[in-house]
Amino acid sequence: MGSQAGSDLPAMKTNPKFIFFSDFDGTITLQDSNDFMTDNIGYGRDKRRQGNLDTLTGKITFRDSFREMMDSIKKPYNECIDYLVSNIKLDPGFKAFFEWSMQHNIPVVVLSSGMEPIIQALLRALVGPDAEKIQVLGNFVRARPGKRIDEEGGWEIEFRNPESGFGHDKSIELRKYSSLPEEIRPTMFYAGDGVSDLSAARETDLLFAKKGHDLITYCVKENVPFTVFEHWGDILDKCKEIVEGRITVKQAAQDGFEAYKAGEAGLAPVGDAGQPTVK
């Protein structure tokens, strides 16, 4: 029964006690690759920022705002990949975290609103051959009718969950793990930074939210416990404490909320500042 429950979950193959789920853009990478394309070769930063704000305040779904961003980019898909591989950088602490996670049987699963071919190309370029050990679940890309992906205006995003306002509803995958029988269910971590993570925020045991970014505003508003990180060195330190049994996930989340209240999360507590900030 237990093996059936986990049969479509590659991360369960090694019976891990912990799994680390993560957003990709702006979390594993320093810059958000989709924002980078939209700002530089799409309709520009101002429209993109307005779309982010409208998503946070519920005026538009993440899916529709994101599709508009992607539709504004006409560059052939292969050129988009090359452009991103030459411009996007990895969080400097991620490699050390990833090596530690492999040594401790902690699978890393990327849950992204970006498109899988771009994420895989960036991971290969930034992490090296071990990148193939990271399971990537994102959205897809397809050719527009009568066109090829690698021609001008030839591609469009294809959502994993087109019926969901999130486009990729990250909670669907996370619930496959959280609903496993107690005796095999691993402790679940998640790291994220922004509006694409709203569907994941409530679903794991400990949420790492990036300092100074939208996800923190959302978590406070919605009363979702979290701990703050600035770079993956912070995440590695906290995970070590937990894996070695020096602190519980509950205590870590509580500490995160205290840090936020003390003004250490890079955002003023809601009620003082009013408007959420968007990078």
What is residue 156's three-state secondary structure?
strand
Q: Minimum distance from CB of 85 to Mg ion (Å)? A: 18
214 binds Mg ion, rule: CB under 5 A: no
The strand ranges marked E within the chain are 18-22, 108-115, 135-143, 155-158, 187-192, 206-210, 227-229
Binding string, residues 143-182; x marks residues near Mg ion by CB under 5 A: ----------------------------------------
Stretch that binds Mg ion, among 39-47, 144-152, 164-172, 185-193 (CB under 5 A): 185-193
Q: Which amino acid is at 250?
A: K
What is residue 258's three-state secondary structure?
helix
CA separation for the pair 153, 40 (Å, rounded):
16
Known active-site residue 82: no
Catalytic residue among 8, 25, 82, 197: 25
Q: Minimum distance from CB of 48 to Mg ion (Å)? A: 13
23 binds Mg ion, rule: CB under 5 A: yes
Q: Minimum distance from CB of 220 to Mg ion (Å)? A: 18
Beta carbon nearer to Mg ion, 12 or 278: 278
194 binds Mg ion, rule: CB under 5 A: yes
Alpha helices (H) along 61-114: 62-71, 77-85, 94-103
3-state helix, strand, coil in the chain (%, to 5): 45, 15, 40
Catalytic residue among 23, 39, 193, 214: 23
Beta carbon nearer to Mg ion, 66 or 98: 66
Q: What is the CA radius of gyration of the chain?
A: 18
Q: Minimum distance from CB of 38 to Mg ion (Å)? A: 13
| Contact positions with Mg ion (CB under 5 A) in 25-54 | 25-26
91 binds Mg ion, rule: CB under 5 A: no
Q: Which residue is nearest to Mg ion (CB)?
A: 26
Stretch that binds Mg ion, among 22-30, 56-64, 65-73, 243-251 (CB under 5 A): 22-30
Q: What does residue 107 show for φ and ψ, rounded to 5 degrees?
A: -60, 145
Q: Minimum distance from CB of 122 to Mg ion (Å)? A: 13
Known active-site residue 130: no
Tell me how far apart the 2 most distant CA atoms of the chain are, in Å: 59
- CB atoms inside a 10 Å sphere around CB 101: 23
The burial of 248, by beta-carbon neighbours within 10 Å (0-12 exposed, 13-18 middle, 19 or more buried), is given as: middle
Measured in whole angstroms, the distance separating CA 120 from the mean position of its chain's CA atoms is 14
- Beta strand 135-143 with 155-158 is antiparallel
Of 193, 203, 205, 234, the one binding Mg ion (CB under 5 A) is 193
- CB atoms inside a 10 Å sphere around CB 17: 12
Stretch that binds Mg ion, among 7-15, 38-46, 194-202, 268-276 (CB under 5 A): 194-202
Q: Minimum distance from CB of 194 to Mg ion (Å)? A: 5
Question: Can you give the binding site for Mg ion, defined by CB under 5 A?
Answer: 23, 25-26, 193-194
Q: Which residues are catalytic?
A: 23, 25
